[in-house]
Structure 1
Amino acid sequence: MSTILRTTRTLRPPRQTASFLFLQLPSTYRAFHSSPRPQFMEQSITVAYSAIESLHTITGLSWTYTLPLSALLVRTFFVLPLSIYARANNRAQVELAPLVSAWKEPMQKKVRLQLQERKMVAISASKPNLMLAKEMRRKSAEIYARWGCQRLKNFMPLLQLPIWLTVMEAIREMCGQREGLWGLLFRTGSGSMSQVLPIEASLATEGMLWFPNLMAADPQLTLPFILSGMLYMNITSGTAKRNRSAFSAGLTKVLKAVALAIGPLTLNVPSAMLLYWISSSSMALVQATIMDRLMPIKPLDIKALPTIEAGSLRKTNHTTLLKVDSRK
């Protein structure tokens, strides 16, 4: 009986039942196991699986082209709007840089008054700088909130991560892999994932060049390192060339190290998953390059801006900005 169930689960249904799978698959192919995924996660993976399978059926393309096309559609309709929104938010913050810088002198006076009121005589040399940095962060957050460009909106592109993971899980199901992405990367050997969706047997014959079988790992070990190089290029090009804070610079170094490590970690990942990942990363690089041209972000040189002299308020750009910002 178990053999019959296992065979039924792994057989690929006829292509004319793609719409039936889209509507009925969660209840028909429900699998119970020791560590089940949340119901919403299974439904999301089922939708992604059905969408990719339907695209393969409608276009008549082989999986070698269907997977990159899927990556293009996902990035165009889901990821690109988030990137444009975050880019516009970042540009607004850069345009407000003179206004934020104009508040440095008043904040310095505020810090001096606070130190005098607290009679802090024996303090470390870094204490005033730390207090000033805290006040400037608070004031900049207030200014950004007033103009509707909060820092949190810069992280909108991170919402693409659940979408990417869902699609990768759907492709994993197509390849018949029982381990999740974490297990494939780090070879935990847990094997606790279930094969909920049917295997796409055509993946074994619709590869190309040196990887004809998309269900197997790359026999030439080339795709993993192409992926690693593509991720590294995404990190080092485009917006990564702009001036960044010390924290951002450190984070960039960590991400570079992760990108270089992805190659060795993905040696056992099915070629279908690598092909989608490479396609998605390539299109991310192209989109970032286009956005750098159409929506450039040119950081202002704060040192070149006019300053407010202590004891006098001349009519400079800064004083004008202070008057504008003081409105209620």
Structure 2
Amino acid sequence: MAEPNCADVFYLHKQLRHGLRYMWQKSAPRGDNQKGGSSDAAGGWYSSLADSTPVHLCEQLLVSVQEASGLPWWFSICVATLSVRTLVTLPLAAYQLVVISKVEALQAEISELAKRLRYEVSVTARERSWTERESRFQFKKNLRRIVSQLYVRDNCHPFKASLLVWVQLPLWISLSLALRNLNLQGALAAGGALWFPDLTIPDSTLILPVCLGLANLLIVEVFSLQRVAASRTQRLALNTVRGFSLLMIPIAATVPSSMALYWFASSLVGFSHNLLLRSPSICRLLQLSTPHSTSPYRDLLTAFFAKYRK
């Protein structure tokens, strides 16, 4: 099954955003025993962000879900995560897939036009005695113009495929800070379950952090299977994402269980949504321009076992 060319970049962004929380933790105010000047400097921007309108809206969302459902807080967090990601990010992920599919479908046409353009530039270069540098400049300039015209014609500029990141990242930050604010208010103290009864303290068993790291690592490994012959840059990016996935384990071990639970639930929902978008029925519904496998899940399992059972 042919996959989007920028899927690796999407998951890289997804993992990079987790690193932001580490910086927030370091810059948050530590208490009254710090010196006033340094404390204000360290916590000023963080406090403003935690007190922003999007964060308070996310707080209201979480509280409303819990009050309307009557569910315990741990389950309410999972329900809110599923709802937000399904109603907001899933449609954007589908739109991203459509845009990328159109861009991929244009590659053959772009390749053919590039060959013609290269010939025309070489003819003109001989007529006008252009240097090699001038010829390359004219070729690249006109190729960019042609490609831009094709993107406009098919309404598939690659930037549109990044809309998911620009929405998902602020949403993730806002929900994480909303949970932090609720933790400080003590609202989640008795809302846990099983081995994490208190959502305001870190998971001392490390089960949630390890599950989060393994889930993110599974996502990376499964969606790296689309790269049959990855370039050096792609392999470097893949190893970087693997590193962030493992780094999330100690980070999640230092934050309240509510945040680790949200990150874990968000990763699982995102993974299931991306598997859903591989479905042949969904591909037909979205009228994707590029051909897709009729048995995507079996192909994934086959590729997975072929790679890791050598």
Shift of 1:227: 0.9
Q: How large is the Cα RMSD of the aligned pairs?
A: 3.0
- Tell me which residue corresponds to 1:317: none
CA 1:160 to 1:210, structure 2 compared with 1: closer, same or farther past 3 Å?
Answer: same
**C-alpha separation between the residues in 1 aligned to 2:290 and 2:233?**
17
- Tell me which residue corresponds to 1:292: 278
SS in 1 for 2:276: helix
Q: Does 1:261 align with 2:247?
A: yes
Structure number with greater CO (CA < 8 Å, separation at least 6) is: 2
- Tell me which residue corresponds to 1:69: 79
CA displacement 1:208-237 (0-9 Å, x = unmatched): 222111111111122112111112222332
Percent identity over paired residues: 22
Shift of 1:291: 0.2
**C-alpha separation between the residues in 1 aligned to 2:124 and 2:244?**
44
User: What 5-or-longer segments of structure 2 have no aligned partner?
Assistant: 1-38, 292-310
Q: 1:225 aligns with which of 202, 210, 222?
A: 210
CA 1:132 to 1:230, structure 2 compared with 1: closer, same or farther past 3 Å?
Answer: farther
CA 1:76 to 1:239, structure 2 compared with 1: closer, same or farther past 3 Å?
Answer: farther
User: What 5-or-longer segments of structure 1 have no aligned partner?
Assistant: 1-32, 177-197, 301-328
Normalising by structure 2, what TM-score? 0.68
Structure with greater Cα Rg: 1
Taking the TM superposition and a 5 Å limit, the aligned residue runs for 1:112-151 are: 112-113=122-123, 115-116=125-126, 117=128, 119-120=130-131, 136-151=143-158
Shift of 1:39: 7.9
Q: Does 1:275 align with 2:261?
A: yes
CA displacement 1:138-197 (0-9 Å, x = unmatched): 432321122110010111110211011101100011111xxxxxxxxxxxxxxxxxxxxx
The one-letter code matched in structure 2 to 1:289 is L
Q: Which has the higher helix share?
A: 2
Number of residue pairs the alignment of both structures matches: 241
Q: Does 1:152 align with 2:159?
A: yes
Q: Does 1:93 align with 2:103?
A: yes
CA 1:283 to 1:205, structure 2 compared with 1: closer, same or farther past 3 Å?
Answer: same
CA displacement 1:42-78 (0-9 Å, x = unmatched): 2211111111011111111111211110100110111
SS in 1 for 2:202: coil
CA displacement 1:60-98 (0-9 Å, x = unmatched): 111121111010011011111111111111111222222
Contact 1:238 1:288 in 2 (8 A): no
**C-alpha separation between the residues in 1 aligned to 2:51 and 2:129?**
55
